Amino acid sequence: MENTTLDFGIERLGECRILSPLAGMRFTRDVQRLIYHNDPADIRVFFDAGKEPPAMEVAGPRERIFFDPAELRCGIVTCGGLCPGLNDVIRAIVMSLYHHYGANKVYGFLYGFEGLIPHYGHTPLELTPKSVGDVNKFGGTFLGSSRGPQDISEMVDTLERMNIGILFTIGGDGTLRGACAISEEVSRRGLRIAIVGIPKTIDNDVSFIDRSFGFMTAGSEARKAIASAHSEACGARNGVGLVKLMGRDSGFIAAYAVLADNEVNFCLIPEVPFSLEVFLDALEKRLRYRGHAVVVAAEGAGQHLLEATRERDASGNIRFNDIGIFLRDKIKEHFSKIGMEMNLKYIDPSYIIRSVPADANDAAFCLLLGHNAVHAGMTGRTNMVVGHWHDEFTHVPIPLAVSRRKEIDPKGRVWSSVLAATGQPADMR
Question: Both 163 and 143 in a single domain?
Answer: yes
**C-alpha closest to that of 314 among 80, 142, 76, 52:** 80
Q: Is the pLDDT confidence value at 419 over 60?
A: yes
Q: What is the CATH number of the domain that holds 200?
A: 3.40.50.450
| pLDDT, tens digit (0-9, with 9 covering 90-100), for 69-81 | 999 999 999 999 9
What's the pLDDT at 312?
57
Question: Both 113 and 222 in a single domain?
Answer: no
Q: What is the CATH number of the domain that holds 231?
A: 3.40.50.460
Active-site residue identified among 88, 173, 203, 359: 203
| pLDDT, tens digit (0-9, with 9 covering 90-100), for 199-226 | 998 888 899 999 999 999 999 999 999 9
Question: Both 345 and 391 in a single domain?
Answer: no
203 is catalytic: yes
Domain count, the chain: 2
Question: Both 43 and 131 in a single domain?
Answer: yes
Domain holding 268, by residue range, is 216-355+410-422
User: What mean pLDDT comes out for the span 226-232?
Assistant: 97
Domain presence at residue 343: yes
What's the pLDDT at 308?
64
Question: Both 193 and 166 in a single domain?
Answer: yes
Domain presence at residue 5: no
Question: Both 57 and 191 in a single domain?
Answer: yes
CA-based torsion, 324, 328, 333, 338: positive or negative: positive
Domain presence at residue 428: no
Residue with the bigger pLDDT between 72 and 261: it is 72
**C-alpha closest to that of 379 among 194, 199, 205:** 194
| pLDDT, tens digit (0-9, with 9 covering 90-100), for 263-295 | 999 999 999 999 999 999 999 999 999 999 999
What's the pLDDT at 217?
94
What's the pLDDT at 128?
97
Query: pTM for the whole thing?
Result: 0.93
Q: Is the pLDDT confidence value at 252 over 80?
A: yes
Domain presence at residue 2: no
